Amino acid sequence: MEAISRFISHLCALSIIFFTLLILEIVVLARSVAGLNPNSGKRVITTTQYLKLIEQKNPTICYTKKLKATECSVCFSDFEEGDKVRELKCKHTFHKHCLDKWLQQYWATCPLCRTKVLSDDVVASYHRLKNQVEYDGSDEELIFLLSSLQDDVIS
Ligand SMILES: [Zn+2]
Ligand SMILES: [Zn+2]
């Protein structure tokens, strides 16, 4: 008798977890479908596409003494001959990796004079993707947590 009641409570725990997982999966699925819906007008671009656009507009160059700038205003260190840098349209120069990081974190403007580096449309599309990725990440964490809980019940 005891074995049967233990079996039933085990079954109950399993079915609760199963339904929670099912609901979570539906939520995740619904979210990804909404993201892909072309009628929503929410275009997204990936980090690779975003960096490619930056590269197209402001190609990476090797630093030489011919460039007027001597210091990168993002990391405040002096440029050295051969450093990979980008010179923006406003003639401000930064390390490639410093500027790329800056442009991914903030609205795409020159760190010094705030001249636009990319159009608002492109930046908005990129930040939209970043927000979506953050949401998906939390869902995945929740599913991982639940499935490790499920393993505990089974073992
Ligand atoms: Zn720098
Ligand atoms: Zn500038």
Say which CATH number the domain at 89 has.
Answer: 3.30.40.10
**77 CA to centre of ligand 2 in angstroms:** 17
| Tokens found for residue 81 | 């001959």
| Residues 81, 96 share a domain | yes
How confident is the model over 109-146, as pLDDT tens digits? 999 999 999 999 999 999 888 777 665 555 555 656 56
**96 CA to centre of ligand 2 in angstroms:** 14
Domain containing 90 equals 43-118
**84 CA to centre of ligand 1 in angstroms:** 10
Query: 123, 113 in Cβ contact below 8 A?
Result: no
Measure the CA–CA gap between 21 and 147, rounded to whole angstroms: 8
Residue 126 located in a structural domain: no
**91 CA to centre of ligand 2 in angstroms:** 6
How confident is the model over 66-123, as pLDDT tens digits? 998 999 999 999 999 999 999 999 999 999 999 999 999 988 999 999 999 999 999 9
Residue 1 located in a structural domain: yes
| Residues 50, 114 share a domain | yes
Phi, psi of 85 (to 5 degrees): -130, 165
Q: What is the helix (H) or strand (E) element at residue 24, kind and residue range?
A: helix 2-36
**123 CA to centre of ligand 1 in angstroms:** 22
* CB neighbour class for 17 (10 Å; exposed up to 12, middle 13-18, buried from 19): middle
What is the count of structural domains for the chain? 2
| Residues 88, 69 share a domain | yes
- Categorize the per-residue pLDDT at 39 as very low, low, confident or very high, splitting at 50, 70 and 90: very low
